[in-house]
A = this chain, B = another copy of it.
Amino acid sequence: MLARTCLALALAAAVALPALADDAKKSPTPKELLAKAAPTEWRTPDPQNLVYMDLPQGRVIIELAQDWTPAHAANIRTLIREHYFDGTQVIRVQDNFVTQWGDADGDDKKKAKSIGTAKETLTPEFTRKGGKAYPFTKLDDGDVYAPEVGFSDGFPVARDPKAGEAWIAHCYGTVGVARDTGAETGNGSSLYAIIGQAPRNLDRNLAVAGKVIKGMEFLSAYPRGGEPMGFYDKPEQRVTIKSVRIAADVPEAERTPIQVLRTDSKTFAAVVDAKRNRRDDFYTRPAGKIDLCNISVPVRDPSKK
């Protein structure tokens, strides 16, 4: 009996994809795929690009889009290092749209907190035009809003090759730079995170500062504000931000270990495909397609791997 089992196993091992009646039809789970990822498929974000925003509910980690909006990233670092954000608040939560934070008195010049040495206005960085090449892993599923979409170093990107323009898409978790009506009025002192259906009509109209890679569940669950655009009508509803720091400024032992799956890796492609064609005991009709903003880029705590 044992011998026969061993023979069966030996034969099975010689087959690349053993046809197991039911399992053959099942797509692998992200967990299964990630467990097999090579160490080189994970990247450790540059701590100069990682923002720790500590809220009473927990830590939010944002990766700044240094290669896409460098002037905004620089101004945000200045604001953070001069402790501008410490004690500012979550001032707006508009359902199915954004959670926004900053100085509640920011629009009142007499009361507004000083932005210190940070710049008051910035040249818009709404799209990236021509110039330097950037990594791009194309998603072949199509897109309603742009001629091409894909990922670039973890960011969901849309582009128009004919116009020679590319931009980070406003997907769930994308962090943007709030501004007034003038295109140059956004300076990073007020930021927002997308908490609903991707409002892609914001694309190319605002600068994207980066994306939340951990802690979205804190930003998305605050009570919605009572004013028309979701600003809190009662000041006591605002949540006060304990501190905002750049990870590089935090002693290494106190940093939150985090790695992001490379979006140009084979495992990422497999994770995307497993979701696109998910088929298991529950999902019996795979979608066959996937929207850019339906793809979450896996992160992990490397200390627990």
Chain A residues engaging chain B, CB cutoff 8 angstroms: 93, 95-96, 126, 141-145, 171-173, 181, 183, 196-201, 203-205, 216-217, 220-224, 275-276, 278, 281-287, 289-291, 293-294, 296
A216, B95: Cβ atoms closer than 8 Å: yes
- Evaluate whether A217 and B224 lie within 8 angstroms (CB atoms) in the complex, with A183-B284, A278-B201 already known: yes
Q: Tell me, rounded to whole Å, the shortest Cβ–Cβ distance linking A273 to chain B.
A: 12
A201, B171: Cβ atoms closer than 8 Å: no
B293, A172: Cβ atoms closer than 8 Å: no
B145, A291: Cβ atoms closer than 8 Å: yes
B201, A287: Cβ atoms closer than 8 Å: yes
Q: Tell me, rounded to whole Å, the shortest Cβ–Cβ distance linking A296 to chain B.
A: 8
Assembled-state Cα–Cα distance A216/B142 (Å): 30
B221, A224: Cβ atoms closer than 8 Å: yes
Which of A126, A197, A224, A289 neighbours the largest number of chain B CB atoms within 10 Å of its CB? Answer: A197
Inter-chain contacts of A286 with B (CB < 8 A): 201
Q: Tell me, rounded to whole Å, the shortest Cβ–Cβ distance linking A128 to chain B.
A: 14
Q: Which 6 A-B pairs have the closest CB atoms?
A: A201-B287, A217-B224, A181-B281, A95-B217, A204-B285, A144-B291
Number of copies: 2
Inter-chain contacts of A281 with B (CB < 8 A): 181
- Evaluate whether A294 and B95 lie within 8 angstroms (CB atoms) in the complex, with A205-B285, A284-B183 already known: no
**What residue of chain B has the Cβ atom nearest to residue A181's Cβ?**
B281
Inter-chain contacts of A203 with B (CB < 8 A): 287
Q: Tell me, rounded to whole Å, the shortest Cβ–Cβ distance linking A196 to chain B.
A: 6
Extra inter-chain contacts (7) besides given A95-B221, A172-B196, A204-B285, CB under 8 Å = A96-B216, A143-B144, A171-B197, A172-B197, A181-B281, A197-B293, A220-B224
Neighbour of A287 across the interface among B93, B145, B221, B291, CB < 8 A: B145
A145, B221: Cβ atoms closer than 8 Å: no
Assembled-state Cα–Cα distance A196/B195 (Å): 7
Assembled-state Cα–Cα distance A24/B285 (Å): 47
B95, A220: Cβ atoms closer than 8 Å: yes
Q: Tell me, rounded to whole Å, the shortest Cβ–Cβ distance linking A31 to chain B.
A: 9
B144, A289: Cβ atoms closer than 8 Å: yes
- Evaluate whether A291 and B217 lie within 8 angstroms (CB atoms) in the complex, with A141-B144, A181-B282, A284-B205 already known: no
**What residue of chain B has the Cβ atom nearest to residue A223's Cβ?**
B221
**What residue of chain B has the Cβ atom nearest to residue A96's Cβ?**
B172
- Evaluate whether A144 and B290 lie within 8 angstroms (CB atoms) in the complex, with A96-B216, A96-B220, A224-B221 already known: yes
Inter-chain contacts of A222 with B (CB < 8 A): 221
B145, A201: Cβ atoms closer than 8 Å: no
Assembled-state Cα–Cα distance A23/B258 (Å): 49
**What residue of chain B has the Cβ atom nearest to residue A183's Cβ?**
B284
